[in-house]
Structure 1
């Protein structure tokens, strides 16, 4: 009787698991190198990679290989590996942000991977030097979409328009997710990965609300990260760093603008010209 009960229980659990599992349509399976050490790493990596009905992954801790099955019409391996990197794990496409790696438990601190350049990854490639070098203007435009949507968001806040600010922040979040990291140098890649997670988080918070006071709180933090990027990625046109001394209970806040004339995104029409230009970025 007990054996029958155990059998019935086992069958019930199997049926429940089968019912809850979401089959992946348009499935493709590929493997990728992902760094890590232990079973805790395995859990974190697989949690980051798995998305119900869209992607399913299993990481082999001995081989350091992630076997990924994904819906080719809903996602890409790059999107999945990007999530893995944000969780703190270097992989063959993306390096983890330094702060994400630092937050991992001590036993999970693996030997960091090095980003290979396109030439190192393809030693047989004998293209002419002029064909492999990306000119400075093109490199500066890698984040053009991010800057454009940031300025549009800033303009909406200047106009006290929370609804438009929400829409512009949503467009900014999409632009952040579409940045082509494969075209970046190692220095650019590291700079981008160190702030991109925070950029996306603040953009999404702004998009999720039409409360302009809350939008402005996140915009001040978003602007700090955007300014950090200008040290590595020039906006492509003359840009001005501007400062409002009164915002945040007198602690102040910065923002970037394409115009030297001050139009304050933290107070809008109530104190439109409050602030000053503190730096010109060319």
Structure 2
């Protein structure tokens, strides 16, 4: 058993570049808690969480250039589990199965994740640093959206190789997002959609089959729409819809221009669709 655990830990370190390992206490009760905690904290090739239900200790292994202990514990808190640093939202804890509702130890120094704000980066003597920080937030998500638009354009061209390459760039942008620089509204949405964004983007990158790429672009676009709605951008974005895509169920996408260029059919039905919303 010990050999198996060692091999598993070694394999995890091999997959995560510049791996840093730390141990932290996370509260929970059972095997179901273990599954939820680890799923919330894990990000492929970026972060791995191994939680022990008996000791309540978790081993965090992560790439410090792409995430941090704080970000991992925030994700776990938003899944309903307290640590010594962060409290889970009360409504999320209340929705846990009865067997998972551990005894909560509320401490004054613990922070509720919904209200956390990093004031250390602000200059309280003036507004210059705060203005720069806001600009960094916008630019950070702007890279995500710009790479999404590039992926959309590749699908408009029905170019599976190009779409795969653009998905790789989008994946890099997603992994580069630093949650502590997001606004509260952006952070809440990011925590809800981040894993699905990564999942769909990885699938688009891993194949050159345009049909399969478009299947994942459908759900990718739905989650990207939620994120963009929570973010303040410098230019308007158009939310567009094709009623024939997705086997007649319809599918949406985001575009920087009002003119319809359909990523689900390309040149076959390039102008099929309508703009349903202008996001400003």
| TM-score (norm. length: structure 2) | 0.73
Q: For each residue in 1:235-275, what CA deviation from the matched residue of structure 2 results, as whole angstroms up to 9, or x when unmatched?
A: 43221111112112322111111121111000001111111
Q: 1:29 to 1:134 in 2, by over 3 A?
A: same
Equivalent of 2:124 in 122, 127, 131: 127
Partner of 1:202: 200
Partner of 2:98: 106
Q: Secondary structure at the match of 2:252?
A: strand
| TM-score (norm. length: structure 1) | 0.72
Q: Secondary structure at the match of 2:238?
A: strand
- Partners of 1:50 and 1:56 within 8 A in 2: no
Partner of 2:213: 215
Q: 1:159 to 1:129 in 2, by over 3 A?
A: same
Unaligned runs of 5+ in 2: none
Partner of 2:228: 230
Partner of 2:28: 37
Partner of 1:118: 118
- Partners of 1:37 and 1:107 within 8 A in 2: no
What is the CA distance between 1:68 and its match in structure 2?
Answer: 4.2
Paired residue total: 263
- Partners of 1:198 and 1:225 within 8 A in 2: yes
What is the CA distance between 1:145 and its match in structure 2?
Answer: 1.3
What is the CA distance between 1:180 and its match in structure 2?
Answer: 1.2
Higher alpha-carbon Rg: 1
- Partners of 1:97 and 1:193 within 8 A in 2: no
- Partners of 1:158 and 1:263 within 8 A in 2: yes
Q: 1:102 to 1:243 in 2, by over 3 A?
A: farther
Q: Secondary structure at the match of 1:171?
A: helix
> For 1:143 and 1:132, how far apart are their aligned partners in 2?
19
Structure 1 residue 156 corresponds to structure 2 residue 147 = no
What is the CA distance between 1:100 and its match in structure 2?
Answer: 9.2
What is the CA distance between 1:92 and its match in structure 2?
Answer: 7.5
> For 1:222 and 1:93, how far apart are their aligned partners in 2?
32
Structure 1 residue 277 corresponds to structure 2 residue 269 = no
